[in-house]
Amino acid sequence: MSHPIYNYCAGPAVLPQEVMEQVRHSLKDFHNGLVITEISHRGAEFMQIVEESKADLADLLNIPAGYQILFFQGGATGQFAAIPMNLLGEARSADYVQTGVWSEKAVEEAQLFCDVNVVANTKANRYTSVPHQASWQLNKDAAYLHYTPNETIHGVEFTWVPKVEVPLVADMSSNILSQPINVSDYDLIYAGVQKNIGPAGMAVVIVKEDVIKPSRYPIPTIFNYRKMIAEDSCCNTPAVFSWYVSGLMFKWLKAQGGLTVMAEQNRLKADIVYAAIDASDFYHNPVETHSRSRMNIPFTLADPKLDSAFLQKAQEQGLFNLAGHRSIGGMRASLYNAMPVAGAQALVDFMRDFERHYG
Ligand SMILES: *Cc1c(COP(=O)(O)O)cnc(C)c1O
């Protein structure tokens, strides 16, 4: 093998070598000989992690005043429930755009709490496009509109931000921090950290404080935005390790030059892989060209009987976790921030090689 191993896992995903080096050190000696997983979440060292992580994230995303940064356990799925609990207020319904399996799951969870109006649904075309906003059936009484800017399984990504009269909620689990965004376009942004930020165990929520509504129902403390704001996301023992590593990742991103640099790299990596797919009759990506994800690239081989050989040979070449999601099969390459351009190049070199032998 002429290159390091590359891990294209959709999540939990690869982290930068420099970050993992610091993590290894912190497991030997984080502070005064104590390791990171053994420090008190009420101590000064952890308080510093809390403050710096919030400041660095605010800096990276240029988060304006009026927004709160919160860290929850329960992943993005926990937020599927927390969002209606905290945002519904007296409203009885919410609008959802359904563009893939993740928004479908968000819809199902919200249905536990309210009437869900699915404003557009691309399931009939197997989730291969982003529906134009002109076609959406919006409800002006909705408490908020929820959408998924990047569908991790189907590889469908919005290139634009919906413009609606109600608060806008975005599940950015798989594309947060992949490019600069205008935070004030949104009222709530959330993300499970295990794709583009850190080890599994947390979700980040960036919420405009004035969209949080008194609830008709009691809200469990660990999902209660107001209580979490009051306690600096430490109503109970937080996911100390996940939080610590996420903080290191924020610093790494700043050191790379921030999100403008990441956006250029992410565009380049995706272009390399899509160009290889489109130049071949052997590989195929089903997503409408202008809705293609920069982060997650699903593709199929001309003959699905070759799938297992493809995965096997890839692994022998040090290219890991290229199998598509179990719900749709095929292949998928995830190219988050921590994936270097050389990783995209190594993948297409392997793909061309495989096609020459088996195509
Ligand atoms: C992975 C993912 C989720 C689920 O995240 P969990 O943290 O496992 O609950 C939700 N939405 C999107 C877009 C995802 O990629």
Q: Is 171 a catalytic residue?
A: yes
DSSP bridge pairs for 116: 94
**255-261 LR contacts (CB < 8 Å, sep 24+):** 258/60, 258/180, 259/60, 259/61, 259/177, 259/178, 259/179, 259/180, 259/181, 260/180
Q: Is 136 a catalytic residue?
A: no
The tens digit of pLDDT for each residue in 239-285 reads 999 999 999 999 999 999 999 999 999 999 999 999 999 999 999 99
Tokens representing 63? Answer: 């988060």
- pLDDT bin (cut points 50, 70, 90) of residue 105 is very high
Cβ neighbours of residue 34 under 8 Å, at least 6 residues apart? Answer: none
- pLDDT bin (cut points 50, 70, 90) of residue 1 is low
CA 3–ligand 1 middle distance (angstroms): 30
Q: Is 224:86 a contact under the CB 8 Å cutoff?
A: yes
- Which residues does ligand 1 sit against, CB inside 6 Å? 11, 75-77, 102, 148, 152, 171, 173-174, 192, 195
ω into residue 12 within 30 of 0, thus cis?
yes
CA 336–ligand 1 middle distance (angstroms): 14
Q: Is 322:247 a contact under the CB 8 Å cutoff?
A: no
The residue whose CB lies within 8 Å of the most ligand 1 atoms, and thus the one to mutate among 79, 98, 152, is: 152
Whether this prediction's pTM lies above 0.85 is answered by yes
CA 39 to CA 34: how far, in whole Å? 7
Sequence length of the chain is 359
CA 76 to CA 193: how far, in whole Å? 8
pLDDT score recorded for residue 216: 86
Ligand 1 atom nearest residue 203's Cα: 7
The tens digit of pLDDT for each residue in 106-162 reads 999 999 999 999 999 999 999 999 999 999 999 999 999 999 999 999 999 999 999
CA 326 to CA 345: how far, in whole Å? 25
Give the torsion sign (CA, 220, 225, 230, 234): positive
- Scan for tokens 């993005």, then name that residue: 76
Q: For the chain, how far is it from start to end, CA to CA, in angstroms?
A: 23
CA 31–ligand 1 middle distance (angstroms): 33
From the candidates 102, 136, 243, 252, give the one annotated as an active-site residue: 102
- Residue 63 is classified by DSSP as P
Helix, strand, coil percentages in the chain from 3-state DSSP, rounded to 5: 40, 15, 40
pLDDT score recorded for residue 292: 98
Ligand 1 atom nearest residue 102's Cα: 11
The residue whose CB lies within 8 Å of the most ligand 1 atoms, and thus the one to mutate among 174, 325, 328, is: 174
CA 108–ligand 1 middle distance (angstroms): 14
* Closest residue CA from atom 2 of ligand 1: 173
pLDDT score recorded for residue 202: 97
Q: Is 41:50 a contact under the CB 8 Å cutoff?
A: no
State how far the alpha carbon of 237 is from the alpha carbons of 82, 165, 201, 243, 339, in Å.
Answer: 18, 37, 12, 11, 31
Provide DSSP, 94-150: EEEEE-SHHHHHHHHHHTTTSEEEEEEE-GGGTS-SPPPGGG----TT-S-EEE-SE
* Closest residue CA from atom 14 of ligand 1: 173
The tens digit of pLDDT for each residue in 189-243 reads 999 999 999 999 999 999 999 999 999 889 999 999 999 999 999 999 999 999 9
- pLDDT bin (cut points 50, 70, 90) of residue 3 is confident
Q: Is 110:131 a contact under the CB 8 Å cutoff?
A: no
CA 53–ligand 1 middle distance (angstroms): 21
Type of residue numbered 285:
N
The tens digit of pLDDT for each residue in 303-337 reads 999 999 999 999 999 999 999 998 888 999 999 99
pLDDT score recorded for residue 2: 75
Pairing between β-strand 145-147 and β-strand 93-98 as defined by DSSP bridges: parallel
Cβ neighbours of residue 323 under 8 Å, at least 6 residues apart? Answer: 307, 311, 331, 332
User: Which element (helix H / strand E) includes 185?
Assistant: none
